[in-house]
């Protein structure tokens, strides 16, 4: 099944080493290693029948490689978010030109203050969107997103986050009713109707896999998750994301797929 035709990524900047981190995965990123890993990430995506727009690094924003957060792209419209981290808020202005290559102005919506919303808190399942209420996404952000989606015949529901940074840190949809879940998401009633694949605690980071046109890209070094995904029948590719993990970033964070 082909669902995505386009991908947008942004190259890591040298200031990546100063990006935001919770310290959950200790150590500063190695910039040169991060570049090589990003090359491999782009290479994996290129094997999934998509065209890839590669944006240049932006030294003003250390976390700007995580291009998923300042925008949300649906089949009907693009939404420029309003990131909740002050050091990242300006990224929303730098993603607009790339979005305009694919959407006319009347299909580009905006989340505006006092609302905050980051794309990492939003998970698309068909025409329904789950949005996590987090330190980066507030009630007003969820309200504005719900109103925007309803204009285009799509729906939205809130998921309370208790432990993780972003919703997709711990839960990701793989299409065909399959969903990877870890930690607090294992027992949340929001996802009771899906075929849930529970991720073991010691591989929780790998709950953040991405489905791209029937291929699932899995973080390298998580054998239980890789095996579980393969047993579901998906073609798999692995990419080392160790340097981005140090900034709490995962596979979904580094691209916009539409």
Give me the active site residues, please. Answer: 166, 253
In whole angstroms, what is the distance from residue 163 CA to residue 165 CA?
A: 7
Is-cis flag, bond preceding 114, omega within 30? yes
Question: How far apart (Å, rounded) are the C-alpha atoms in residues 124 and 146?
Answer: 13
**What does residue 42 show for φ and ψ, rounded to 5 degrees?**
-65, -40
Task: Please give the sequence-ordered ranges of beta strands (E in DSSP) within 18-115, or none if there are none.
Answer: 51-55, 71-73, 78-80, 108-110
E-strand stretches of 32-127: 51-55, 71-73, 78-80, 108-110, 122-125
Determine phi and psi for 196, rounding to 5 degrees: -90, 130
Distance CA 7, CA 22 (A): 28
DSSP labels, 100-112: HTTS-GGGEEE--
Centre a 10 Å sphere on the Cβ of residue 30 and count the other Cβ atoms it contains.
15
Interatomic CA distance for residues 73 and 108, integer angstroms:
9
């Amino acid at each position: 099944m082909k669902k995505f035709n386009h991908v947008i990524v942004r190259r890591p900047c040298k200031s990546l080493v100063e990006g935001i981190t919770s310290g959950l995965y200790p150590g500063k990123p190695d910039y040169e290693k991060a570049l090589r890993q990003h090359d491999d990430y782009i290479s994996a995506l290129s094997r999934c029948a998509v065209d890839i727009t590669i944006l240049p690094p932006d030294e003003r924003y250390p976390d700007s490689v995580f291009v998923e957060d300042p925008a949300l792209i649906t089949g009907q419209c693009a939404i420029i978010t309003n990131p909740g981290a002050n050091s990242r808020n300006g990224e929303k202005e730098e993603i607009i030109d790339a979005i305009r290559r694919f959407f006319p102005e009347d299909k580009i919506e905006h989340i505006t203050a006092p609302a905050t919303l980051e794309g990492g808190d939003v998970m698309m399942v068909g025409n329904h969107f789950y949005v996590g209420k987090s330190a980066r996404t507030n009630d007003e952000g969820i309200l504005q997103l719900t109103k925007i989606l309803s204009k285009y015949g799509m729906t939205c529901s809130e998921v309370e986050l208790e432990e993780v940074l972003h919703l997709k840190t711990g839960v990701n949809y793989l299409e065909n009713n399959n969903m990877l879940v870890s930690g607090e998401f294992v027992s949340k009633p929001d996802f009771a109707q899906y075929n849930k694949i529970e991720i073991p605690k010691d591989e929780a980071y790998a709950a953040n896999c991405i489905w791209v046109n029937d291929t699932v890209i899995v973080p390298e070094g998580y054998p239980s998750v890789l095996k579980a995904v393969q047993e579901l029948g998906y073609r798999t590719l692995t990419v080392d994301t160790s340097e981005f993990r140090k900034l709490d970033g995962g596979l979904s964070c580094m691209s916009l797929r539409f």
